Structure 1
Amino acid sequence: MEGGLQKIDIDAALSVIVVPQRGASGSVVDWQYAEVSGPVLEVLGKGRDEVLGHRLSEVVPEQFATLHALWSRALASGEPGSIRLEHGPFSFVVSALSLGDRVACTAVDVTSLHESEARYRLLADHVQDVIWVFDLGLGRMTYVSPSITALRGLSVEEALAEPFERSLTPESLTEVMSLLARVFEPGSPDRHVGIFDQPCKDGSIKHVEITTTLVRDEAGRPAKVVGVSRDATERIAAERARLVSEKYLSAIFDLTLAGLIVVRLSDQRLVSVNDAWLRQIGWTRQEVIGKTTLELGLYPRPEERQRIYEALDDGGVVLPMETHLRRKSGEEALFLLTASTAEIGGERCAIGAWHDITALRQADDALRRSEERFRALIEMSSDMLVLVDEGGRVLFSSPSVTERLGWSAAEILGQHTTELVHPDDVAKVSEQLAALLQESGVTSKLGMRLRHKQGSFRVVECDARNLLHEPAVRAVVINARDVTERQQLEDQFRQAQKLESVGRLAGGVAHDFNNLLTVILSCASALKDDLAAGLPGNVEDAEEIHAAGQRAADLTRQLLAFARKQVVAMVPLDLNAVVRQSEKLLRRVLGEDIELLVRLQPGLWNVMGDLGQIEQAIMNLAVNARDAMPDGGTLSVETANVRLDEGTEWVRLTVRDTGAGIPDEIREHLFEPFFTTKAAGKGTGLGLATVYGIVQQAGGRVELQSQLGRGTTFELSFPRSSGPVRPASELPAAALDRGDEQVLVAEDDAPVRAIIVRALRRAGYRVLAAQNGADALAMVTEMRAKPDLLITDVVMPGMDGRTLVEAARRQQPALRVLYLSGYTHDIITAKGVSELGIELLAKPFTERELLGRVRVILDG
């Protein structure tokens, strides 16, 4: 060699591996040293860092043309090649062998073939690829480079001793045997490249790229196979991953809902589109590929297209932008576009994603119009709309709140709802709101009074709905209506109805009492005239006066029972016993045309009530039933123990008839005083009103069921009582009993006091009379009176009856007491004398009733 080549020791190996360097056209323009042996560095007179990685044209420019031609032929043909280089008396042969994408080169002295082969072997021993030689005649490997260990884990010795068929997997062995059969065919190429699977010592399988060259002997017969094996496992895995990735990307491109297009920026032509974009725009793929957007007339607004390309030129990215496109049909649609640039196949392209938002924009516009209408409805509505959170604080209030209550939206925002509620309504409203929050979607009706900013209160009715679970609302929605004026009108109407009822009641009472007074005054006048004339009094006149007084007392009791203010003797009662006691009288009242059926439940619970009132209620119902069955029928009276859903225990008295029934238009007036359907003079209209008052006063309920032509059922339900029923011996005696005990009478009404004193003295009692409580107490404390019985009115001016009794019993603890009262139940209750066990005689009473009660108390 000349120039950079120097004469070297004949035993030294001159070997390099070079990698081709290609130009823009793909042709090899230079070579880069990938590996270089020490002798080469000595020949070149350079250090390793001056050669390794450098180009051939830089290291030995004077030999560039010769070596470049040799290596290019070897790389292109895949067959070994050599040239001769003369250097003084020595001749060197420079050989080159293609290793796939690189070339191995060695220089040898042709005068010593052995040394040349040794140098070539040294070259093979130092490359990463496995170089091997297979002798076809011997049928085995005669050489393998040490890199076999890195490839398959075998030592050189193990590889040389390994049978050929075990060096490949069964599938690859079949493929290789088929290839060998073709190699020996005439005209078959001597060089082959393929990917085969080879087992490793650790049991794993590697993909190996094997390049083989057939070497023939002097006769042209195949003699050896020289091969280069390169590990292609990672490359194949990467290639497969790339293919899978490309497949996935292609699938995503085709299947995504967004319309995707690829435009080549050099000529702005479409090179790829997906099915979604075609569906959006209405064209077929054949109609758009290779066309520009201008040719297709896609942009009805050219300024939008210009903005897109300006953004791509400036930054390579189009941020979400609303753009109009024209479909094939000519319809203009609205799209949301995002785009960016990328290198695809060596070309700069723009990738755009198009989302058709036409329907969405139309829906948004419709929603906005709907919201505007809804807001207008809220702002124009007279109803107040308030939204509150789960804590009860105001989130929103409509303008009508300001109009009705005077508070501005800013003033009411954040306030707790109860801050606006009337103090008397807070507990009820808080309880109702708490219950409403327990269940989503339910609606509750609320009534309350809300505070006006000026301090007054407005009456409102509310529909509250729990929509906290609705993402669009997340609030309790309260729709409130101001009903203050309506409430006032209703109150006025109810007051008018009350006045009308009171007027009707007053008229009825006046009519009945005028009749009674006519009898009393007429008979009293006749009796007075007879006595003034010295004639004996007519007993019939006295009896008429007494009867009229009794009827007046009965009318008063009916009125008080209707008003639920009658003075009653509430004691434990057995309704079975009450019905049995009334049964004989009921049969006489009903007559022979009506059958009476009595069904009494054994073991009936006791109830609290007034015996006379309960009997009166049964009798009133029986009389009404009799009048409803003019042609006869059946009246049933039944008792039963009843447990209601709320766990309470009741005793039910049922009175059922088979009469004509009650029309619906009459039912709502049925319990009104003096309301009657009977002819004039046939009824007072107090019968059912009295029944209702008696049952209500006993804490019970009245229920009505009626069908025209089939009859009517009244169910009187009374709460169960645990108290024992009083024996008959404890009831007031009816006989006119006499005595000689001392009785102190305290009564502020002089005529009543005189009647009581006269009756007691006529019966033999010693009587002390006082016109008020203070005088009566003075007789006990100052006059040292020791009465056996104190009879006192409950209500008197100054000291009332209860105070008198307490003071007198401090002087005489065992003093017996009988209270008198003509006042209503609520008044005597306020005076503290309605407790069970206190003796009370209601006005009006007869002399017989007074003396009987006095005797029972004194004997007790």
Structure 2
Amino acid sequence: MSKSTDKPRADRRLLQQIISGLAEGVVLLDPDGAVVWANETALAIHGAGNLAALGRTAQDYVAAHTLKYRNNHVLAPAQYPIMRVLAGESFTDVVVEVTRPADESFRRIHQVRGLVLTGASEEPEALVLVIQDATDRYGAEERFERAFSTNPAPAIICGLTDLRYLKVNQGFLDMTGHDREEVLGRSMYELDVLNEAARRDEAIRLLQQGRTIPQMEATLRLKDGGTKLVIVAGQPLEVCEDPCMLFTFMDLEPRRRAEDALRQTEERFSKAFMLAPVPMAVCNRGDFALMAVNEAFIAATGHEAPEVLAKTPADLHLWADAAVHRKLKDDLDATGSVRNAEVALRTRGGDVLDCLLSAETATINGQACVLVAIQDITDRKRGEEELVAAIDAVMQDASWFSRTVIEKLAQIRRPQDTLASTAALSELTPREYEVLGRMCQGENNEQIAAAMRVSPNTVRNHIAMLYSKIGVHRRSDAIVWARQRGVTGYEAPAKGRRHARPR
């Protein structure tokens, strides 16, 4: 009997020596439920310093540890791997989460195998638990799972063995309108994420080889039957040790809508630009080189579009006055726009046109530009000059016009806004004031000289000083200036008063 009992113990010691240095944890049990031995790895991955802390029996082990499956389902005592192997069951790769009620900080993920060792009589002689600490691996997978699920960027994972989808995040479901159940388990042939890809053949080849698929444009089919333009890329990875491909997407629909809106805006601008009745041009911001001109510009200047494009106004001698370029550039640098600047424009035939030029800085196709509009006022200005000459001739003797007529003529002769910044009556000397009043009465220089008892030359000097002070250059403008301030004539001062009273 002694020999029969000593041999199994010798065999067990030999077995213990063989497995003591293994990287996996090994726990040996007797068929009666006693835990007879555990290697250092088994103790360490249970957070136990000795066999007593691990549990002297299977029941002690169950009491000292709480086990859950990966779906958070708590195992009943009979489902513990140690109890299953004690019941004579062999099994492989049971993954459980192990915690210790006595230590809230302890948490491990164990991958367990159960072995039943039998003797010559086929009766169990030793029961073995082989335990691998999978905490790091499953922890990394948990972190990946959380990051994958919460990442707002659409993503989907396809197994490379059967090309079926294993995982999908909410971003992909939101983008395509599919439900999770409609995606998981489907193959790439049913839900083609490389549909109409720019380099589809290359992408399929790389997918078959399990290699990285670079970014490329593709068109995803949506649940509602529509499509969505995306950028798709593929990155190989392993999920549960199976080779997979992670597809990520960037939604290009907002960009496509913006590009469509921009294109429509540019088309509308182009049509309005070409059909505008006034000459218009788009110039480079730096040197005013012409980038585009409309039909009205061609008609006004006599230049054809091919001969003006990419040329500056200086190249075409468009400005009759070379100083115009510098003035326009300074104004645009200061305010970004020019409004109704009077310029002289030279045509291809050499004629000079009087024009009003307006300009506005703009960005077109990412380039700093200036949009220029020109109004030809040559005929209007010529007519105004003829009218002003006629009014000047009439107003040489304005004594017989009523005040209302004088003011109406003055408004035609000189717009109101040009008189806004003139001097006050108080700045005039008594002599200048008298000259102004007599001019308003219609007296000429000789009549004024006789009334004031001075020479005509003195009167001319007074008139020159008067013009300088009130900012005019013509007799008619001086009369208008005076009428606007209530001066219609001159009344000699009464005795005791120093200045004449305006009337």
With the shorter chain as reference, the TM-score category is 0.5 to 0.7
- Are 2:331 and 2:337, in contact at CA under 8 Å, matched by a contact in 1? no
**Residue 180 in 1 paired to residue 52 in 2?**
yes
Deviation at 1:252, TM superposition (A): 4.0
- Residue-by-residue CA offset, 1:455-514 (whole Å, 9 max, x unaligned): 3333332212234xx58554341413240xx42243134314523652x458989x99xx
**Counterpart among 163, 168, 180 of residue 285 in structure 1:** 180
The 5-angstrom pairing of residues 763-774 of structure 1 reads: none
TM-score by length of 2: 0.53
d(CA) in 2 for partners of 1:436, 1:282 = 51
Distance 1:476 1:187 in 2: 85
Equivalent residue runs for 1:244-643 within 5 Å: 246=141, 249-293=144-188, 309=204, 312-313=207-208, 316-382=211-277, 383-390=279-286, 392-394=287-289, 396-400=291-295, 401-408=297-304, 411-413=307-309, 415-420=311-316, 425-439=321-335, 441-467=336-362, 470=363, 472-483=365-376, 486-499=377-390, 502=393, 504=394, 612-618=431-437
Match of 1:100, as an amino acid? L
Deviations 1:833-852 (A, max 9, x none): xxxxxxxxxxxxxxxxxxxx
Structure label with greater radius of gyration = 1
Deviation at 1:259, TM superposition (A): 1.8
Deviation string, structure 1 residues 201-256 (Cα, Å, up to 9, x no partner): xxxxxxxxxxxxxxxxxxxxxxxxxxxxxxxxxx99x975x677545544442344
Q: Give the whole-Å Cα distance in 1 for the aligned partners of 2:317 and 2:143.
A: 65
Residue matched to 1:736: none
In 1, Cα distance between equivalents of 2:209 and 2:303: 56
Per-residue CA deviations over 1:631-668 (Å, capped at 9, x if unaligned) read xxxxxxxxxxxxxxxxxxxxxxxxxxxxxxxxxxxxxx
Distance 1:442 1:493, change over 3 A: closer
**Which sections of structure 1, spanning at least 5 residues, go unmatched?**
1-69, 83-93, 104-128, 132-167, 196-234, 513-574, 580-603, 624-670, 674-689, 717-860
Distance 1:324 1:423 in 2: 53
Distance 2:370 2:345 in 1: 17
On the 8 A contact 1:396/1:409 being kept in 2, the answer is no
Contact preservation (8 Å) 2:285, 2:361: no
1:697 is matched with which residue? Answer: 467
1:394 deviation in Å? 1.0
Q: Does 1:80 align with 2:80?
A: no
Alpha-carbon distance in structure 2 between the residues aligned to 1:373 and 1:187: 84
Q: For residues 242 and 229 of structure 2, what CA distance do their matches in structure 1 show?
A: 30
Change (3 A) 1:186 1:496: closer
2:164, 2:276 → 1: CA distance? 59
Shift of 1:263: 1.6
Q: 8 Å contact 2:156–2:246 — kept in the other structure?
A: yes
Task: Give 1:271 deviation, angstroms.
Answer: 0.5
| Offset of residue 313 of structure 1 | 2.9
Per the alignment, in what secondary structure is the counterpart of residue 322 of structure 2? helix
Structure 1 residues 406 and 464: alpha-carbon distance in aligned structure 2, compared to 1, 3 A threshold? same
- Distance in 1 (CA, whole Å) between partners of 2:177 and 2:466 is 82
Query: Structure 1 CA distance, aligned partners of 2:463 and 2:240?
Result: 102
Higher relative contact order (CA 8 A, sep 6+): 2
Q: Distance in 2 between matches of 1:476 and 1:305?
A: 40
Distance 1:704 1:130, change over 3 A: farther
Q: Shift of the alpha carbon at 1:364?
A: 2.3
Q: Do the aligned residues in 2 keep the contact of 1:337 with 1:353 (CA within 8 Å)?
A: yes
How far off is 1:429 after superposition?
4.2
Determine whether 1:100 maps to 2:22. yes
Over residues 598-630 of structure 1, what are the superposed CA-to-partner deviations in whole Å (9 max), with x where a residue is unaligned?
A: xxxxxx9x86x6x65532435677x8xxxxxxx
Percent of pairs with identical residues: 19
Q: Which amino acid aligns with 2:329?
A: L
Q: SS where residue 699 of structure 1 aligns?
A: helix
* Distance verdict in 2 for CA 1:387–1:261, change over 3 Å: same
SS state at 2:353 partner: strand
1:443/1:498 Cα in 2 relative to 1: closer, same or farther (>3 Å)? Answer: closer
8 Å CA contact 2:160, 2:208 repeated in 1: no
How far off is 1:95 after superposition? 6.2
1:42-121 aligned within 5 A: 80-81=13-14, 96=18, 98-101=20-23
Aligned-partner Cα distance in 2 for 1:497–1:446: 21
How has the CA–CA distance of structure 1 residues 247 and 344 changed in structure 2, closer, same or farther, with 3 Å as cutoff? closer
Q: In structure 2, what residue type is equivalent to 1:99?
A: G
Cα distance in 1, alignment partners of residues 24 and 468 from structure 2 = 118
* Structural mapping, 1:811-850, within 5 Å: none
1:363 and 1:376 map into 2 onto residues whose CA distance is: 20
Which range is displaced more, 297-306 or 337-346? 297-306
Q: Which whole-Å CA distance do the structure 1 matches of 2:369 and 2:24 have between them?
A: 80
Paired position in structure 2 for 1:126: none
> Given the superposition, is the C-alpha separation of residues 473 and 448 from structure 1 closer, same or farther in structure 2, using an over 3 Å criterion?
farther
> 1:99-248 counterparts in 2 under 5 A?
99-101=21-23, 176=49, 180=52, 183=55, 246=141
Q: With the length of structure 1 as denominator, give the TM-score of the two structures.
A: 0.34
Q: Given that residues 464 and 476 in structure 1 are in contact (C-alpha distance below 8 angstroms), is that contact kept between their aligned partners in structure 2?
A: no
Give, in whole Å, the separation in 2 of the partners of 1:617 and 1:488. 35
Contact 1:463/1:479 (<8 A) preserved: yes
Secondary structure at 1:80 match in 2: helix
User: 2: CA distance between counterparts of 1:478 and 1:703?
Assistant: 42
Cα distance, 1:500–1:462 mapped onto 2, change above 3 Å: closer
- The amino acid of 2:434's aligned partner reads E
Q: CA RMSD in A?
A: 5.6
Q: Which runs of 5+ in 2 are unaligned?
A: 1-6, 26-38, 66-97, 100-131, 402-423, 445-459, 472-477, 489-503
Aligned equivalents of 2:368, 2:199: Cα separation in 1: 43
In structure 2, C-alpha distance between the alignment counterparts of 1:246 and 1:186, rounded to whole Å: 31
Residues 462 and 445 (structure 1), Cα distance of their counterparts in 2 relative to 1, 3 Å cut: same
Equivalent residue number for residue 628 of structure 1 = none
> Quick check: 2:337–2:358 contact (8 Å CA) kept in 1?
no
